[in-house]
Chain A
Amino acid sequence: MSYKTKNALTGWMFIAVAAILITVFYFYPMFQSLLLSFQSGAGTNLEFVGFANYVRLFSDPTFLTALTNTVIYLLVQVPVMIFFALIISVMLNNDKLKFRGWFRTAIFLPCVTSLVAYSVIFKYLFASDGLVNMALLNTGILQAPIQWLTDPFWAKVLIIIAITWRWTGYNMIFYLSALQNIDKSIYEAAKIDGANAFQSFIKITIPMLKPIILFTTIISTIGTLQLFDEVMNITGGGPGNATLTISQYIYNLSFEYTPNFGYAATVSYAIVVLIVFFSILQFKLVGDKND
C-alpha cells in the first residue's frame, strides 16, 4: 500500500464512527419516516396506503391549525428577537458603557435554563392570578387580568414572549462577537461624513453583520419550527388547539392519541419541507441584496 492510500485510509478510520452513527440515527430514520408516511394503521399494524396520508394532511383541521400556529410563531417571533438582539448588542458594544460585563451576563443568563424549567416558571408567572397580572393590575396598567393561559390570542402571545426571553441573549452573543470585528474607523469616517447613529446602524452595522444575521435567522427558524418543550409545558397546546405546534401534534399522534405512526411521519415531513423552504428563502433574500 502506498503512503498516500494508507494515509487516506487512516482518515476514513477517524471519520467512520461518527459517519456510521449519524447514518444510523439520522439518515436511516429519515428514510424510514418517508416509508412510514405511505403507511397507515394503529400502532404497529401498518399497511401501505399510497398517498392517503398526504391527502388527509391537507383536509386535517388540526394539522392546519398547528401549521398556522407554528408559522405565526416563526413570522412574529424570529424578526422581533433578531431586532432586539441587534439593538442590545449595538448598545453593549459601546466603549463608553460601564458595567458591560454585568449587562451581558444578565441578558445571556436565560440561555442556561432548561426549556422545561423556564416553561414551568412562565406558566406560573403568567397564571390569571400570577405575578405578571398582579403587577399590571396594581400599577393600573390593566383593569382586568389578562387570561394568558386560556385566551387563544394571549396564549400565543405568551409563547412568543417566552421564546423571546429565552433566546434573545443567545443571538446577542453572536452579534456582539461579530461587532468587535468591525473596524471602528468605518464608523468614524461615517461620522465625519455627517451620518447619525441610526444611519450608521442601517448603512454599516446591518450590512457588515449580514452573514451572522443570516446564520442566526436560519438557526432560529429551524428551532422555532421544531417548537415543543415550551408549548407542552406552558399551555399543553391549548386552549383548544390555539398554541399547538407541528412537533406537538406529531407527538400526540404517536404517543397520546391512538398511535398512528404512519400519519405522524407524514406530518413530520411537513416540518422538513418548511425548514428547507424557509432556509432557501432566507438565503435568497440575503444573497440577492449582496449582488
Chain B
Amino acid sequence: MTKLKMGAMYTALTIISLVSIFPFIWMIVSATNRSVDVTRGRIFPGTHIFENLQNLLNQVNLVPALMNSAIIAVGTTVLALFIGSLAGYGFEVYRSKKKDIVFTILLLSMMIPFAALMVPLFRMFASISSVIPFIGIDTLPAVMLPTVATAFLIFFFRQSTKMFPREMIEAGRMDGLSEFGIFLRIYAPTMKTTYAAAAIITFMASWNNYLWPLVVLQSPGNQTIPLLISNLGSSYSPDYGVIMLAIVIATIPTAVIFFFMQKHFVAGMMGSIK
C-alpha cells in the first residue's frame, strides 16, 4: 500500500476514534464542571466534582438505586449462568432428536420482541402480587425473573460445550459422580472462560436494562440506575454537571468490567456466532 493510502487510513481511523470517544470525554469533563460551564461549551476539566456529587446525593436516591441495580445485575447473572449453562450442557451432552426440536423452539424466543411481552408480563406480575407479594409488581425479583432464562445463553453454552472433551464425563462416571455432580465439579470449573464471557454479557445487559424496570418498578425507592438517569435527564431545569456525574458513576461498573475482561467479551460475542 502506498504511503498516501496509509496516511488516509490513519486520518480516517483517528477521526472515527475521536468521534467514538468524544461523548465519553465530554461526559467525564462535564461531571467536573458547573451546569452553566457545560452549557457554555467548556471542554476542560473543572473543580466542581465534589459539589456536583453533593448535589447529586441531595437530589436523588443515588446509593439505593446503585444497590438495586447491583442486586438485580448480580442476581440475574448468577441465576442466568446457572440455568443457561445447565441447559446448554443438557442439550449438547444428552443429545437426541426430540431435544433438538425443543432447542429450535426455544431459539425462536429470540425473535420475540419485548414490546409484545411487556403488557402480558405486567399483567402476570400484577396478578402474582396478590398471591406472592415479594415477587409481584414493584419488586426486584419481578425485574429479574423474565431475564434469567435466555435462549441466547443456552445457545452460547451449547456451542462452547461442543469443545468440552467427552472423556472427562466418562472419567467422572467411573469415579462414581452423579450426572449433576459431573456438571458441577468437572464441567463448570473447566469452562471458566465461557462462564466469564457469559457473565460479562449478562451483567452488562442487566445493569443497563431500561424498559422492563420502567414498566414493573413504581416506587422511587426501587429505582434502578437507568431509571434514575432517565428521570434526571428529563427534568425541567437540568443541572448538567450533576447529570453527567450520575452518568459517569453509572458507567463505571460496565467500563471497568469491559477494560479488565475485554478479551473475554470479544470471545463471548464471537462464541455466539461460531
Residues of A within 8 A of B (CB): 7-8, 10-15, 17-19, 21-22, 25-30, 32-33, 36, 44, 88, 91-92, 94, 96-97, 102-103, 105-107, 109-110, 112-125, 129, 131, 134, 165, 169-170, 173-174, 177, 197, 212, 215, 222, 225-226, 228-229, 232-233, 236, 246-247, 250-251, 254-255, 261, 264-265, 268-269, 271-272, 275-276, 279
Contacts and interface: CB of A to CB of B under 8 A. Distances in A.
A24 B144 CA distance: 14
Nearest to A84: B16
Given A25-B145, A125-B23, A222-B113, A15 B262 contact: no
13 contacts: A14-B94, A15-B91, A32-B120, A88-B16, A112-B204, A112-B254, A116-B233, A226-B113, A232-B230, A247-B211, A251-B215, A265-B120, A272-B112
A271 B115 contact: yes
B119 A36 contact: yes
Contact of A11 (B24, B93, B211, B230): B93
Contacts of A124: 38, 238, 240, 243
By CB atoms of chain B within 10 A, which of A117, A229, A264 has the most? Answer: A117
The 5 A-B pairs at the shortest CB distance, nearest first, are namely A11-B94, A14-B90, A21-B149, A114-B208, A29-B120
Contacts of A232: 230
A212 B31 CA distance: 39
Interface in B1-51: 1, 5-6, 9-10, 12-13, 16-17, 19-21, 23-24, 26-27, 38-39, 41, 43
A264 B91 CA distance: 36
Contact of A275 (B83, B113, B117, B255): B113
Given A7-B94, A92-B13, A120 B118 contact: no
Contacts of B230: 116, 120, 232-233
Given A15-B90, A114-B226, A131-B26, A30 B215 contact: no
Contacts of B145: 21, 25
Interface of B: 1, 5-6, 9-10, 12-13, 16-17, 19-21, 23-24, 26-27, 38-39, 41, 43, 83-84, 86-87, 89-91, 93-96, 99, 102, 106, 109-124, 145-146, 148-151, 154, 179, 183, 204, 207-208, 210-211, 214-215, 225-226, 229-230, 232-234, 238, 240, 243-244, 247, 250-251, 254-255, 258, 262, 266, 269-270, 273
Contacts of A28: 120
B140 to A, nearest CB: 16
Nearest to A135: B41
A247 B12 CA distance: 35
Nearest to A225: B113
A36 to B, nearest CB: 7
Interface of B, helix, strand, loop or mixed by DSSP: helix
Given A26-B109, A114-B207, A251 B118 contact: yes
A21 B109 CA distance: 11
Residue of A18, A44, A103, A134 contacting most chain B CB atoms (<10 Å)? A18
Contact of B208 (A8, A19, A115, A233): A115
Contacts of A173: 266, 269-270
B118 A254 contact: yes
A19 B88 CA distance: 11
A254 B122 contact: yes
A199 B121 CA distance: 51
B24 A109 contact: yes
A111 to B, nearest CB: 8
Contact of A116 (B86, B122, B208): B208
B20 A107 contact: yes
A116 to B, nearest CB: 4
Given A117-B229, A268-B118, A18 B124 contact: no
A15 B266 CA distance: 27
B123 A120 contact: no
B51 to A, nearest CB: 19
B90 A13 contact: yes
Contact of A129 (B39, B114, B207): B39
Contact of B258 (A91, A112, A122, A170): A112
Contacts of A272: 111-113, 116
Contact of A268 (B113, B146, B258): B113
Nearest to B110: A222
